Chains A and B, each alone.
Chain A
Amino acid sequence: MMTRGSWSLLLGPLGFLLMGLGVLFLQHSGGEFAVERVAGELSYLPWLLAVIFLAVFIHALLLHSRPQPDIWLFPCVMMFSSLGIVMIARLKPELLIPQLRWIIIGMVAFVVVLKFGKVISRFVQYQYILGLSCLLLLCLPLFFGTEIGGSRNWILLGSFRIQPSEFGKILLVFFLAAYLSDHRQVLSLPNLRLLFLWLPPLRFIAPLLVVWGMAILMFVVQRDLGSALLFFGIAVLMTYMATGSKSYVFLAVAFFCVAAAVSYTMFDHVKVRFDIWLDPWQDPSGTAYQVVQSLFAFGSGGIWGTGFAHGHPELIPEVHTDFIFAAAAEEFGLIGSLMILLTYVLFFYKGLQVALGCRTEGQILLAAGCNIVFFLQAFIILAGVTKFLPLTGITLPFVSYGGSSMVSSFILLGLLVSLSRKEQKNHG
Chain B
Amino acid sequence: MGNRMLKRHVLQAGAFLLLCVGALAVYIVYLQFVVADGLARDPLNRRGMQADAGIQRGMILDSDGRALAQSIQAGTRSYLMGETMAFVTGYSSSEYGSSGIEGYANRELLGITDEMSRMGPLAQIFQSERGNDVKLTIDSDAQQAAYSGMAGRRGAAVVLDMDTGAVLALVSSPAYNPNYIDMEWDSMVERQDSPLLNRALQGLYPPGSTIKPMIADIALEQGITDAHEVFDCTGSLDVGGGNSIREGHGEVHGSLHLEQALVKSCNVTFGTLAMRMGVKALKPGFSRFGFDRTVDGELQETASHLPDYPALDSGDIAQVGIGQSTLLVTPMHMALLAMAMANDGVVMKPYIIQQVTSPQGVLLREAVPRKWFEATTRDRANLIGGWMEEVVQKGTGTAAKVSGIRVAGKTGTAENPAGKDHAWFIGSAVIGKQRIAFAIIVENSGDGGVEAAPIARKIILSLDK
Find out whether A and B make contact in their complex, taking CB atoms under 8 A apart as touching: yes
User: Taking A300-B40, A303-B32, A312-B50 as contacts, is the C-beta distance between A352 and B27 under 8 angstroms?
Assistant: no
User: Taking A302-B40, A372-B17 as contacts, is the C-beta distance between A361 and B3 under 8 angstroms?
Assistant: yes
User: Taking A334-B32, A379-B21 as contacts, is the C-beta distance between A303 and B118 under 8 angstroms?
Assistant: yes
B120 touches A307 (CB 8 A): yes
Complex formed: what's the CA distance from A14 to B451 in Å?
A: 75
Return chain A residues, CB-CB under 8 Å to B17: 237, 348, 372, 375-376, 379
Return chain A residues, CB-CB under 8 Å to B47: 296, 300, 311-312, 315
- Which A positions have Cβ atoms within 8 angstroms of B? 184, 237, 240-244, 284-285, 292, 295-296, 298-308, 310-312, 315, 329, 333-334, 337-338, 341, 344-345, 348, 352, 355-356, 359, 361, 364-365, 368, 371-372, 375-376, 379, 382-383, 386, 388
A386 touches B33 (CB 8 A): no
Return chain B residues, CB-CB under 8 Å to A244: 5-6, 8-9, 12
Complex formed: what's the CA distance from A237 to B33 in Å?
A: 33
7 cross-chain CB contacts under 8 A:
A298-B28, A299-B42, A310-B121, A329-B32, A364-B6, A368-B10, A371-B14
Return chain A residues, CB-CB under 8 Å to B16: 237
Q: List residues of B (21-42) whose CB comes within 8 Å of A's CBs.
A: 21, 23-25, 27-29, 31-33, 35-40, 42
B38 touches A299 (CB 8 A): yes
Return chain A residues, CB-CB under 8 Å to B228: none
A307 touches B121 (CB 8 A): yes
Return chain B residues, CB-CB under 8 Å to A315: 46-47, 50
Which 3 pairs between the two chains have the least Cβ-Cβ distance? Answer: A299-B39, A304-B120, A307-B121
- Which B positions have Cβ atoms within 8 angstroms of A? 2-3, 5-14, 16-18, 20-21, 23-25, 27-29, 31-33, 35-40, 42, 44-47, 50-51, 117-124
A298 touches B36 (CB 8 A): yes
User: Which of A285, A312, A352, A388 is close to B11, meaning CB atoms less than 8 Å apart?
Assistant: A352
Complex formed: what's the CA distance from A352 to B10 in Å?
A: 8
Chain A's nearest CB lies how many Å from the CB of B193? Answer: 24
User: Taking A242-B9, A361-B2 as contacts, is the C-beta distance between A285 and B21 under 8 angstroms?
Assistant: no
Complex formed: what's the CA distance from A379 to B29 in Å?
A: 16
Chain A's nearest CB lies how many Å from the CB of B39? Answer: 2
User: Taking A303-B33, A334-B29, A356-B11 as contacts, is the C-beta distance between A375 and B121 under 8 angstroms?
Assistant: no
**For chain B, what secondary structure do more than half of its interface residues adopt (helix, strand, loop), or is it mixed?**
helix
Return chain B residues, CB-CB under 8 Å to A299: 31-32, 35-40, 42, 45
Complex formed: what's the CA distance from A304 to B42 in Å?
A: 19
User: Taking A304-B119, A364-B10, A379-B21 as contacts, is the C-beta distance between A296 and B42 under 8 angstroms?
Assistant: yes
Chain B's nearest CB lies how many Å from the CB of A375? Answer: 6
A344 touches B118 (CB 8 A): no
Name the residue on B nearest A180 (C-beta): B6
B18 touches A295 (CB 8 A): no
Complex formed: what's the CA distance from A355 to B12 in Å?
A: 13
A337 touches B32 (CB 8 A): yes
B24 touches A388 (CB 8 A): yes
B120 touches A306 (CB 8 A): yes
A298 touches B24 (CB 8 A): no
Chain A's nearest CB lies how many Å from the CB of B241? Answer: 41
Name the residue on B nearest A344 (C-beta): B21
Complex formed: what's the CA distance from A355 to B11 in Å?
A: 9
Return chain A residues, CB-CB under 8 Å to B122: 304
Return chain B residues, CB-CB under 8 Å to A382: 24
B31 touches A298 (CB 8 A): yes
Return chain A residues, CB-CB under 8 Å to B50: 312, 315
User: Taking A302-B117, A315-B50, A348-B14 as contacts, is the C-beta distance between A296 and B39 under 8 angstroms?
Assistant: yes
B120 touches A364 (CB 8 A): no
* Residue from A299, A301, A304, A361 with most neighbouring chain B CB atoms (10 Å): A299
A296 touches B121 (CB 8 A): no
Please name 14 further chain A to chain B contacts, defined as beta carbons within 8 Å, in addition to the given A296-B40, A372-B17, sorted by A numbering: A240-B13, A241-B6, A241-B12, A244-B5, A299-B35, A301-B32, A301-B36, A303-B36, A305-B120, A307-B121, A315-B47, A329-B28, A345-B18, A361-B2
Chain B's nearest CB lies how many Å from the CB of A183? Answer: 13
* Residue from B6, B37, B38, B121 with most neighbouring chain A CB atoms (10 Å): B6
A364 touches B7 (CB 8 A): yes
* Residue from B46, B120, B124 with most neighbouring chain A CB atoms (10 Å): B120
Chain B's nearest CB lies how many Å from the CB of A208? Answer: 16
Return chain A residues, CB-CB under 8 Å to B8: 244
Return chain A residues, CB-CB under 8 Å to B32: 298-299, 301-303, 329, 333-334, 337
Return chain A residues, CB-CB under 8 Å to B18: 345, 348
Chain A's nearest CB lies how many Å from the CB of B24? Answer: 5
Complex formed: what's the CA distance from A308 to B121 in Å?
A: 8
Chain B's nearest CB lies how many Å from the CB of A137? Answer: 25
Chain B's nearest CB lies how many Å from the CB of A257? Answer: 17
Complex formed: what's the CA distance from A241 to B17 in Å?
A: 13
A298 touches B39 (CB 8 A): yes
Name the residue on B nearest A314 (C-beta): B50
Name the residue on B nearest A298 (C-beta): B31
Return chain A residues, CB-CB under 8 Å to B119: 304
User: Taking A305-B120, A334-B33, A386-B31 as contacts, is the C-beta distance between A296 and B45 under 8 angstroms?
Assistant: yes
B11 touches A383 (CB 8 A): no
B24 touches A386 (CB 8 A): yes
Name the residue on B nearest A365 (C-beta): B6
B13 touches A241 (CB 8 A): yes
A304 touches B3 (CB 8 A): no
* Residue from A285, A292, A302, A383 with most neighbouring chain B CB atoms (10 Å): A302
